[in-house]
Amino acid sequence: MPIVSATDLPLALQAAVIQSDEISILTYLLDAALCGILSVQIYFYYLAFTQDRWTIKSFVYSIYVLNSASTGIFIYNAFMTFGPGFATVDSATKIHSDWYVAPILGSFVAFATQLFYAYRNHILSNSRLIPFIIATIALVSNISALAESIRLSQLTDVALVHNFFESLTAGIWFGCSALTDILIAVCMTYYLLKHDTDFRQTHATILRLVRMIIETGTTTALIALTSIMLFFAFPDHVYYVAGVVVLPKSYSIAALMILNSRAEIVGRRVADISVISTGLRFAHTVSTKHEGDAHITTTRDELVTNNGSGNTSQEQV
């Protein structure tokens, strides 16, 4: 089949091809930038928190591997789009592998991150109901993303994307994702503030966590909502693809920001242990690691909660 250049098309179609390429390059640049930010967060975590439990380390490094794999796919397709296929109709209308492989990887990243927050809610609330609801909605979002990806792998043209099935699965995917983010932010904020105290160090720790949870939760929810609005508002364009690409890495960066927020400024005075009368305690420890001429001081905040039967459970914040 001969390759049709955009210059051989009518002006209206030329503009459509150019616009598609513009959106593609913006998407690839956003993905590369977020991958760089995530890599810095991962490196900082690697230096500062060598004593974390293996479950947390597995979560952190697994989401990084998945994000790196999706970035590799985007790099390959960027080369195919702006290399051999530059300014051709095929590059603008063909559904490449990044349309369905990357969303599969991204859905697993989002699902793992939301389960991470659900477990944190379980530790804070000592209840299984709210974490179960969060996990269920996240699972529905993940299944919808997988269904969307499988369906896209069977299509050959971008024009075929906006049909009933794709619209339904995309709506469930992004809608449930946004709902999960909002629920996580509201519940974690409520339970953290419920355990607030007059102890300065513990109060500062809680406020820092609340601020970060609200900021990151709001950001990811807005990305999901914006993506679904672009999907339905501009059916003839692929603006929403940027949201599909950005969302998984936004989840990963948000989780790493919360984990890395345990790092303290060198020389800051902190209390060893603060006890809260509500049954929650922050066990505060400080460690310093030397990397060449640099000094990295990190802290561990453990939530120790009483379940009402005399037993306690511990979880690192």
Query: In this model, does residue 253 exceed pLDDT 60?
Result: yes
Query: In this model, does residue 270 exceed pLDDT 80?
Result: no
What's the pLDDT tens digit per position in 175-213? 999 999 999 999 988 888 887 777 777 777 778 888 888
- Predicted pLDDT of residue 301: 46
- Predicted pLDDT of residue 65: 94
The SS3 call for residue 119 is helix
Rounded to whole angstroms, the Cα distance separating 141 from 163 reads 19
Rounded to whole angstroms, the Cα distance separating 187 from 269 reads 30
Architecture of domain 6-260: Up-down Bundle (1.20)
- Predicted pLDDT of residue 36: 95
What's the sign of the alpha-carbon dihedral 244, 249, 250, 255?
A: positive
Residue 123, phi then psi, degrees to nearest 5: -65, -45
Query: In this model, does residue 90 exceed pLDDT 70?
Result: no
Rounded to whole angstroms, the Cα distance separating 220 from 60 reads 18
What's the pLDDT tens digit per position in 8-32? 444 444 454 556 667 778 888 899 9
Residue 181, phi then psi, degrees to nearest 5: -60, -45
Does the reported pTM lie above 0.85? no
Q: Where in the chain is the domain with CATH 1.20.1070?
A: 6-260
- What tokens does 94 get? 């063909």
Rounded to whole angstroms, the Cα distance separating 225 from 229 reads 6
Over residues 94-112, mean pLDDT = 77
The SS3 call for residue 293 is coil
Over residues 234-252, mean pLDDT = 83
Which of 26-40, 238-252, 253-267, 275-289 bottoms out in mean pLDDT, i.e. has the lowest? 275-289
Q: How far apart are the first and last CA of the chain?
A: 58
Average predicted confidence (pLDDT) for the chain? 75
Amino acid at 113: T
- What tokens does 80 get? 């195919």
Contacts of 317 by beta carbon, 8 Å cutoff, 6+ apart: 205, 209, 262, 282, 301, 302, 303
What's the pLDDT tens digit per position in 127-184? 889 999 999 999 999 999 888 888 777 765 555 566 667 788 888 988 999 999 999 9
- Predicted pLDDT of residue 87: 56
Which of 98-112, 158-172, 205-219, 268-282 bottoms out in mean pLDDT, i.e. has the lowest? 268-282
Rounded to whole angstroms, the Cα distance separating 90 from 157 reads 9
Rounded to whole angstroms, the Cα distance separating 88 from 2 reads 11
Helix axes 200-233, 164-194, angle to 10 degrees: 170
Over residues 57-85, mean pLDDT = 85
